[in-house]
Structure 1
Amino acid sequence: MTEPHALLLERLRTALGKKVRTDATETLLYRYDAIAQGPAPVAVILAETTLDVATTLRLCNESVPVVPRAARAACPAERFPWGRAS
């Protein structure tokens, strides 16, 4: 866990429990889709309800990029919070 994200991850775990995944092997799976670009996520939230999504977005609303992903999006534009894929 990276130090800048430690407090956020603690808050997410308190609110969402086991829905927060930070294991490097597991988060690496969410780095890839049709292309292999970009950094691995610090965490993956397996939201099950709209409340889970709202909680995640509320806690991440401090300059933390959030990339929503449903059913393994294959379009690069859907997964790059920093702009277009090159």
Structure 2
Amino acid sequence: MLLPKDVQEEINHYNEESFQLLHDNPWLIPAILGCMTLPAAVCIHGFWKNQQLKKQLKIEREKTRQLNLQNKHSHLLLRHL
């Protein structure tokens, strides 16, 4: 297991390498942001679409429930006639 001092040195070394890579290749910045943004956008869109479909499903269930109540009511009325 690394000691805290060793961990800090490893983190600093990794950060220096990352910054040097970005300094040498600045075109990576928009590419990395694009790679990070795309999955987030897909997740947000999926969540939004799922909420819409849940609302639509509730509406359809309520319509079905109302139709069932109307049918039961009309059958009871026909039996009494």
TM-score by length of 2: 0.21
Structure whose residues are more often strand by fraction: 1
What TM-score does the superposition give when structure 1 sets the normalisation length?
Answer: 0.20
Higher relative contact order, chain-length normalized (CA < 8 Å, sep 6+): 1
Which protein shows a greater Rg?
2
